[in-house]
Copies of this chain bind each other. A is one copy, B any other.
Amino acid sequence: MNFWPLFIVLGAVLVTAGFIAFLISRIRKQPVEEAKIREVQGFIRVGAMAFLKREYKILAVIVVAVAILIGIFLNVQDYFLSGLATAVSFLVGAILSALAGFIGMRAATDGNGRTAQAAKNKGMGGALGIAFAGGTIMGLVVAALGLLGLSTLILVFYSIYGNISVVVTIVTGFGLGAGIIGLFARVGGGIYTKAADVGADLVGKVEKGIPEDDPRNPATIADNVGDNVGDVAGMGADLFESLVVSIIATISLAVIGGMAGFSYNILHLILFPLLVCAGGLIASIVGSFFVRGDKPALKLRVGQYVATGVSALITLGISLILFSNLIPFVVVIIGNIVGLAVGQITEYYTSSSYRHIKYMKKMSSTGSATNVLSGLSTGMLSTALPILVLATAIVTSYLIAGMYGIALAAVGMLSTVGLTIAVDAFGAISDNAGGLAEMGGLDKSVRKITDELDAVGNTTAAIGKGFAIGSAALTSLALFITFIASFYTITGTDITEMLNLANPILIAGLLIGGMLPFLFSSMTIKSVSKAAGDMIKEVRRQFKEKPGIMDGTESPDYAKCVDISTKAALREMIVPGLLAIFAPIAAGLLMGYVGLAGLLAGALVSGILMGLFQSNAGGAWDNTKKSIEADGEKGSEIHAAAVTGDTVGDPFKDTSGPSLNTLIKLMTIVSVIFIPIFALIENGRGILGMF
């Protein structure tokens, strides 16, 4: 096979790198004149970078341990050092994901203060330009590094082994590396951001009555750091994983014969998803040019539609050139539509323009309990339409293009992921900019601009979460099919018909797998509570021991609060993270592939549902509170009721809900990687199967 078209992909990556350099220089050109902003921005950057460094140090231990296991145990048949090659792929995946987080975080913490400054100097247009440039860097870095890593590894290892099916197995290690970083970044970032947020709010806003982002609040820096580690680094690592894993699943299914429901050439099936994503990279750059000027909400939407349109055109061209056929193009479009539809549905259930938030506002007038209940029921209800959209897309893309089609739909959904992340990260940068404007004592007119950007950012963040879950669903499903199909190529046994619903071991697996997202959510919610408790104690202590903080004669100890969030997040992320890695391995060893397949399917179904439920309920509570505030009801009883729901929703929407995406993806890719081990035990039937 001749993989020369991968150099086109690398070319697109190179173009993107140039554009990223341009964006960085554009951000840097905006000076930060206000000394106070420069100072606070420095605190945020130092805090955020310190968190990343400490997180990566811990992850390095886990990653190296897993790499050694892979290197020793996972040699592919008789291919020399192929286990080592898989370990290298794995390390590259982990390192590139970490690097994407690093660069993106750097851009975000460079952009926040400059956005505030630009809002002062140049108004809305200037602020939107800087904030969106910061977000675009994150988005493009994620997409470009994903494509760079995959293309390079395929080229290198194909030149070494000359067998594409071995190369696919090796490259799957890349997905596992991305998956491990993705999970820990989501969970750690999610715990960090909510511990700081709840701590800052409960003591600062509620007990001391000082406004949001007041520099007298010791936790305010930690809160702003949290926006970055959660919404920027966490989201980026999550979607980095989705992107690379969906491509890997597509390539795997291309290599395993008979998976595509149309006539094909294997090489073309392999190249197609990579070229589509390279096109999406360029389309994202094009789209980003349309996000400028005065109306941020409108312009962000225009940018996304332009990117989707350009990407569709490029896909059409690739589809015709490679296959002389529209089928692959149609499937990619199905993926695009799913992405847009899930986002719109999320908005319908979480935006105050529609009836559900209106209902929740009404229910808030009878107190906290009815507010909470209405949020829970809205969250549960909001699972229905996305599930129907996903189910329809799965069946349709399968009927059109076989198993390969399902994986391709996931790729289609993620093809313009660069811009999707940009829109999401832009919100976090704007949120930070607002905080810096407040802390820097800038004029109210500046705050008005950053507030408008922040409000837009809140909507896009909710939509982004819906998108992340939807993409995790399709990606995990594609990977799950790869798991079943790979079993055949690796062990020579076709297990498909064993995996039927009349098999009680499979049902037991389904039940246990379905339970894992509940257990995982319970753990992460408790972690937030514990971490927030630590933070509350510290903030109270500072106010008590330094009475001068309130009148400005003493400085609060920001670093101490940052340190508490960091430590708590790093401590609390370990157990849920290891659960995700070891649950599928334990299931595979004990219950064999039948129980493991059941476990993965159960976790997939309940993970998507619990993810949608929690994220959307959280978003709905958040916007109910904001809408009540916009009505001028701040401080009223109805507002107090809404604050309760909002606080309940905080870990739902930023920790436990979105972490489930990474849980279901990581569990599935761990299962794919360790197939050779499971196959060793009693021909894959597991220890229980010996009875």
A450 to chain B: closest CB distance in Å? 27
**Within the assembled complex, what's the spacing in Å between the Cα atoms of A608 and B518?**
12
Smallest CB separation, A607 vs chain B (Å)? 10
Residues of B within 8 A of A24 (CB): none
How close is A348's CB to chain B, nearest CB, in angstroms?
Answer: 15
Asked if A399 is an interface residue, CB under 8 A from chain B, the answer is yes
The answer to whether A383 and B518 have CB atoms under 8 Å apart is: yes
Residues from chain B with Cβ under 8 Å of A392 in the complex: 508
A613 CB to nearest B CB, Å: 6
Partner-contacting stretch, out of A101-109, A150-158, A372-380: A372-380
* Residues of chain A in range 450-492 having any CB-CB distance to chain B below 8 Å: 477, 480-481, 484-485
* Any B CB within 8 A of the CB of A344: no
What is the CB-to-nearest-CB distance from A671 to chain B, in angstroms, rounded to a whole number? 12
User: Are B515 and A609 touching (Cβ within 8 A)?
Assistant: yes
Q: Does A68 contact B (CB under 8 A)?
A: no
From residue A675, how far is it (CB to closest CB) to chain B in Å? Answer: 15
Contact B519 A369 (CB under 8 A): no
- Residues B380 and A512 in contact, CB atoms below 8 Å apart: no
Q: Which residues of B contact A498 (CB under 8 A)?
A: 500
A1 within 8 Å of B (CB atoms): no
Question: Could you tell me how many residues of chain A have their Cβ less than 8 Å away from some Cβ of chain B?
Answer: 80
How far is B370's CA from A406's CA once the two chains are assembled, in angstroms?
Answer: 41
Question: In this assembly, does A4 line the interface, its C-beta being within 8 Å of a C-beta of chain B?
Answer: no
Determine whether A340 belongs to the interface, using a CB cutoff of 8 Å to chain B.
no
**A597 contacts which chain B residues (CB < 8 A)?**
501
Write out the residue numbers on chain B whose beta carbons fall within 8 Å of the beta carbon of A376. Answer: 525, 648
| A398 on interface, CB distance cutoff 8 Å | yes
Q: Which of B368, B395, B529, B643 contacts A644 (CB 8 A)?
A: B368
Cα–Cα, bound, A82→B579 (Å) = 53
Docked Cα-Cα span, A394 to B591, in Å, equals 13
Q: Are the C-beta atoms of A613 and B380 separated by less than 8 Å?
A: no
* A493 close to chain B: CB less than 8 A: no
Closest to A395 in B: B508
Contact A605 B511 (CB under 8 A): yes
Given A383-B519, A502-B496, is A601 in contact with B373 using a C-beta cutoff of 8 Å? no
Chain B residues, Cβ within 8 Å of A61: none
A512 and B387 contacting across the interface, CB-CB below 8 Å: yes
For the complex formed, measure the closest distance between the CB of A621 and the CB atoms of chain B, giving whole angstroms.
10
Give A339-375 as 1s and 0s: 1 = Cβ < 8 Å from B's Cβ atoms: 0000000000000000000000001001111101110
State whether A499 touches B502 (Cβ < 8 A).
Answer: yes
Q: Is the CB of A384 within 8 A of B519?
A: yes
Interface SS of chain A: helix
| Closest residue on chain B to residue A399 by CB atoms | B691
Q: Are A510 and B601 in contact (CB under 8 A)?
A: yes
Query: Of B202, B394, B518, which is within 8 A of A384 by CB?
Result: B518
- Complex CA gap A623/B393 in Å reads 45
With an 8 A cutoff between CB atoms, is A160 at the interface? Answer: no
**Chain B residues whose CB sits within 8 angstroms of the CB of A63 once the complex forms:** none
Q: Mark A509-527, 1 if CB is under 8 A from B, else 0.
A: 1111011001101110110
Q: Is the CB of B644 within 8 A of A521?
A: no
Nearest CB of B to A510, in Å: 5
Closest to A505 in B: B395
**Residues of chain B contacted by A369 (CB below 8 angstroms):** 368, 643-645, 647-648
Do residues B511 and A608 form an inter-chain contact, with CB atoms below 8 A?
yes
Complex Cα spacing A394 to B522, Å: 25
Chain B proximity of A285: nearest CB distance (Å): 34
Residues of chain A whose beta carbon lies under 8 Å from any beta carbon of chain B? 202, 363, 366-370, 372-374, 376-378, 380-381, 383-384, 387-388, 390-392, 394-395, 398-399, 403, 406, 477, 480-481, 484-485, 496-502, 504-512, 514-515, 518-519, 521-523, 525-526, 528-529, 533, 536, 591, 597-598, 601-602, 605-606, 608-609, 613, 643-645, 647-648, 651, 688, 691
Q: List 9 A-B contacts (CB under 8 A).
A: A368-B644, A369-B643, A373-B651, A384-B515, A392-B508, A394-B507, A499-B500, A510-B605, A511-B608
Q: Which 5 A-B pairs have the closest CB atoms?
A: A369-B647, A380-B522, A391-B508, A381-B522, A398-B504
